[in-house]
Amino acid sequence: MAYSKDIKKQIIESFDPNETSIVGHAAEYDVPVRTLRRWLKGKTGKTTPTKESKHPIPNFLKKLERDTNVIRELGRLAERVKEHNREDKDYCKIAIKTDRPIAVIKAADLHLGGLDVDYASLLEHYKFLLEEPNFYLQLFGDDINLMIMHRTVAARHDALTPDEQADLLVGIVNELLDKGKLLSVGWGNHEEFTERSAGFNLSKLLLSHKVPYFSAAGYIDLNVNDVTYPMAFAHKTRFNSFMNAVHGNKRLEQMHAQYFGVNRPIAHEYITAHTHYPAVSHEGCLPEERIWYIKCGTYKTNDLYSRRYFGSGRIGTPTVVYHQDRFEHMCFPTPFEAYRYMSGRDWPGLKNSEKK
């Protein structure tokens, strides 16, 4: 059956999918369903959906769009960053009131729990620190070994499990704090073992609420009475030289602004550790010009890895004597030499062969 253009137009325009179906509309005008579908498709480019469609198209009455208030979000992030920055200390001021010079032992790489550690020497140094007034301690990383968590082959180098190592460290820190001996604690690369495996720094978790804890390079103003001694430190730097043990310390000074910021004045001590090879040197002659470069040693003296590639580790706890009435500080390779400088005699607790 032929349909004129006017009738065809009337049939198409009168079709309302909300009122009737294609089948019903075709029957009303006596038009084959297939013909009507072809007409409607030609009008819209696609078949118009009907109530009988097996796959109705949803109507999103509420647009699913992000409604981001940029000003509010940036303000919230600024507050979050402020809270986060409180967790990672990079500066502190420590004040000590005294009527005589004090000495601070700089120690690192205790590696508590390791089977390759010289615990006899560590014990003698610990007893010396507890017994002697005016002697204090700073720790610069790798206080516990945690080799069990590092790799399987290293497990045989640990005498204590990780939780036993943590208990020993907390016990030492608590005792030193009770006696007013511990000034600060710093991060070391062995702390990265728990960061990599569990997502947190075990030493920081245990100690940061007890004592100033530095998660990276740090800067301390040590006030002895009204005299300020600025010191800067890092467990390790990316600069090392087997011909100069304090090479990294001097690079630390040269790159001071990059490590510690332009607002921190040049320090009079640059302290590093990590290589297990102690050393002390300085530049400048007059006390106010003197800058000390201090590399801490270790108690891990029988480490197989070190003996294979670098040589045995050396015990080394350089000790700095600070005067309380003038800016003058002297660094000695051992605490016993510092004791001799301060008292004019040898420490009676050790034999000559053990003064290291």
Q: What is the pLDDT of residues 273-287, one digit of tens each?
A: 999 999 999 999 999
Please give the backbone phi and psi of residue 98, each rounded to the nearest 5 degrees, phi first: -155, 160
Q: Answer yes or no: is 66 within a domain.
A: no
Same domain, 42 and 143: no
Q: What would the pLDDT profile of 210-221 be if each residue is shown by its tens digit? A: 999 999 999 999
**Residue 290 above 70 pLDDT?**
yes
Q: Average the pLDDT over each of 2-6, 97-101, 159-163, 189-193 and give the range with the smallest value.
A: 2-6
Among 19-23, 61-65, 221-225, which stretch is predicted with the lowest mean pLDDT? Answer: 61-65
Is residue 140 domain-shared with residue 193, that is, in the same domain?
yes
The answer to whether residue 68 is domain-embedded is: no
Whether 299 and 224 map to the same domain: the answer is yes
Residue 185 shares a structural domain with residue 107:
yes
Tokens 């010396």 -> residue: 128
The answer as to whether 323 is a domain residue is: yes
Is the pLDDT at 54 greater than 80? The verdict is: no
- Which CATH number goes with the domain that contains 319? 3.60.21.10
Is 97 among the domain residues?
yes
Over 90: is that where the pLDDT of 329 sits? yes
Q: Which residues contact 80 (CB under 8 A, 6 or more apart)?
A: none
Rounded mean pLDDT, 43-49: 54
Query: Do 183 and 332 fall into the same domain?
Result: yes
**Domain carrying residue 212:** 91-354
Q: Are residues 153 and 262 in the same domain?
A: yes
Please give the pLDDT value at position 153: 59
Q: Is residue 162 part of a domain?
A: yes
The residue among 10, 40, 60 that closes a domain is 60
Has residue 77 been placed in a domain? Answer: no
Shared-domain flag, residues 141 and 34: no
Provide the percentage of residues in the chain whose pLDDT is more than 90.
Answer: 53
Nearest to 190 by CA among 281, 298, 287: 298
Tell the residue number behind the tokens 């103003």, with chain if given.
221
Residue 82: inside a domain: no
Do residue 324 and residue 251 come from a single domain?
yes
Looking at the fold, whether 275 and 145 belong to one and the same domain comes out as yes
* 192 and 232 assigned to the same domain: yes
Q: What is the pLDDT of residue 278?
A: 95
Q: Are 39 and 46 in contact (CB under 8 A)?
A: no
Look at residue 76 and tell me if it is in a domain: no
**112 shares a domain with 56:** no
How many domains is the chain built from? 2
Do 286 and 222 fall within a single domain?
yes
Task: Work out the pLDDT band at 292, boundaries 50, 70, 90.
Answer: very high
Q: Per mean pLDDT, which range of 46-60, 166-180, 183-197 is the poorest?
A: 46-60
Whole-structure pTM value:
0.77
Instruction: Say what the pLDDT of residue 27 is.
Output: 83
Phi, psi at residue 42, to the nearest 5°?
-65, -30
Q: What is the pLDDT of residues 116-144, one digit of tens each?
A: 999 999 999 999 999 999 999 999 999 99
